[in-house]
Structures are given as structure tokens and as C-alpha cells.
Structure 1
Amino acid sequence: MSAPVHLRDATPADWPGVWRVLEPVLRAGETYAYPRDITEDDARAAWTGSPGVRVLVAVDDAGTVLGTAKYLPNHPGAGAHVANASFVVAPDAAGRGVGRALARAVLDGARADGYRAMQFNAVVETNTRAVALWESLGFAVLATVPEAFDHPVHGLVGLHVMHRAL
């Protein structure tokens, strides 16, 4: 049985744990279009510094960050009623329900914050675990942009645009 996962808003003190989760995923370059050599400062600005962003962490009983998510307006102004979100689970926490718990918290938080829908602009089609999770939570693939992502193992692969109403 897995240890309990606690979800909460991130604080500045959580950044070292968030970076511990983000860094290996960003360096691998298989699921996000950030530069694989992104600096910690640039990653922090990208993850926490956008206008309207809300960052969550999933932690265990000891306070270790197991995963993180963020959501924010997909576009400003007339598009601000649609949220966008990003999720990362620590490799050593994969398969423990952390991603699903974060996803539910983000969907509930976005709905409570007044968003009408959520859109993912760039889900790498080879990230089958994420695609299956999003589909199980009611997201649909609206389109796939062919060869829009240069995967370090699979070469040029598509990026899904996924959506669901809140």
C-alpha cells in the first residue's frame, strides 16, 4: 500500500523539491518542449512566474515533493476563461496515483476559480500514460499537430491538443 499523498498550494520553500521533480523530466526531453539544458532559474520562472498561475504540490507525510502541477489562463483577455495546466510526477513516485490526484485537484481548483474549460496545447503523443489519464478524466484529443515535437528517442512525433469542459 502506498503512503498517503497530500495536495496543497506550493510555497516558495517548496521550490527545491519541485526542482528535484522537474529537473529529470525536463532533462529527458520526452514530454515537455522546454530546452533540455534549461537552467534552474529559467525553469522556476517558467513554472511559477506566469501571470495568474497557481502551483500545487503533492507531498508525502514527510513533506517530500512527489509531484507538482500548475494551472493558469490558457490565453489572456478574451481567452482567460479557459485554463491550461502542466503536471510532473517524480520518477520514483510514478504509478502511485500522484498524477491522478494532482489532475483532480487542478480540475476542481480551476472550476472553483471560475474557469469554464481546460485545454492542453501540447501533449506529446508518445506520452501514452498521460494521454490515457487525460482521456479517463474526460479530455478529448481535438487535433494532433504532426511532427511538432522532436522526441529524443522517437524523432518527430505529434502533439495533441486536448480539451474538456469544466
Structure 2
Amino acid sequence: MHLRRATPDDAAALADMLLPVIREGETYALDRDLTAEAALAYWTGPDKRTFIAEHEGALLGSYYLRANQAGGGRHVANCGYVTAASARGRGVARAMALHSFEAARAAGFRAMQFNFVVSTNAPAVHLWQALGFAIVGTLPAAFDHPRLGLVDAFVMHRSL
């Protein structure tokens, strides 16, 4: 697996990977009917550095890195991750997370915070905790899950 910066040539494949996750509506607090253009604008916006995980030309996943806040909070990074359905369970998310920690350190960040991890996203919660994140806050009934109704969301943090 190779991790690299995203390019405009990745747009179609990236949209193909993002849209099913957004449409499913179980992990991101995004409108489920976002257009491909809006999803790409969100994922690759000017405030983000977007990376691609690929193997033999196939996109396996992507993540973005940005400052969690401006001003006095700019030393804390924030990321979003997505893994292609066909690549789940193969260590792609872990590889992207480890890569993001290094990229964040190289960019001068001292910590990483996830503002809204849906509590029912057990694979993500387990991975983040295994990689040193602590749940530092619970947002009660903050996410309207399409199958489960209102569920909690976690704020997770770790030092870099």
C-alpha cells in the first residue's frame, strides 16, 4: 500500500468511495444526499491536506488533515478517514491513521482530536482507542443514526 497526496485526477475514484459512506449515513454527520461535487469540496477543501491510500492503482482509502481550530487551537489536528468497502478489514484505516500522525507531526501539530465519532461505529472507536485516543467527552444523542435512532457521539483526543 502506498500513501500519497490526492490530486485532481483522483476526484472520480474518491467520489465513488465517499458517496456510499455518506449515503449510508452511519458514520459522518453529513447530508446523505450530497452531490459528488459537494462531497469532494468537503473532503478536499482548501483548509485540508487530503491523502490517498492505494495499491496497484486502486484507491483503498483516503483521509484529510487540517487544524481542528484556528488561533490558539491551531496546534491540534483533526482528520477524517474513509476506507473503500472492498478494502475494509485489511489494515487500511490503521495505516492511514499512522501516516496521519506523522503528517500531523511534520506539519507542527502537537495533538489530534476527533470532534464527532459516532458511538455505534465500533471498528473506528476500537481502532482509535488502540492507537492511544481517549474518549474525553460524550455528546448524548447527538447523532441521528438511520437504523438505530439517536445515539451518542464521542470527542476523542491524543497527544502526538
What TM-score bracket applies, with the shorter chain setting the length? over 0.9
Report SS of the residue matched to 1:130: helix
Cα displacement (A) at 1:76: 1.2
| Fraction of identical pairs, as percent | 52
For the pair 1:143 / 2:133, whether they are aligned, the reply is no
Partner in structure 1 of residue 6 of structure 2: 10
3-state SS in 1 of match to 2:147: coil
Aligned to 1:33: 29
Aligned to 1:59: 54
With structure 2 as the length reference, what TM-score do the two structures score?
0.98
> After the TM superposition, which residues 35-114 of structure 1 pair with which residues of structure 2 at under 5 Å, given as runs?
35-51=31-47, 53-61=48-56, 63-114=57-108
Aligned residue type for 1:136: A
Local SS of the residue matching 1:96: coil
Q: How many residues align?
A: 160
Give 1:38 deviation, angstroms. 0.5
Secondary structure at 1:105 match in 2: helix
1:26-50 Cα deviation digits (max 9, x unpaired): 0000000000000111111111114
Give 5+ residue unaligned stretches, structure 1: none
Shift of 1:91: 0.8
4+ aligned runs moved over 6 Å, structure 1: none
Deviations 1:3-58 (A, max 9, x none): xx11111111111111111110000000000000001111111111142x111100
CA distance 1:60–1:73, change in 2 (3 Å): same
Paired position in structure 1 for 2:117: 123
Please report the RMSD computed on the Cα atoms of aligned residues, expressed in angstroms: 0.7
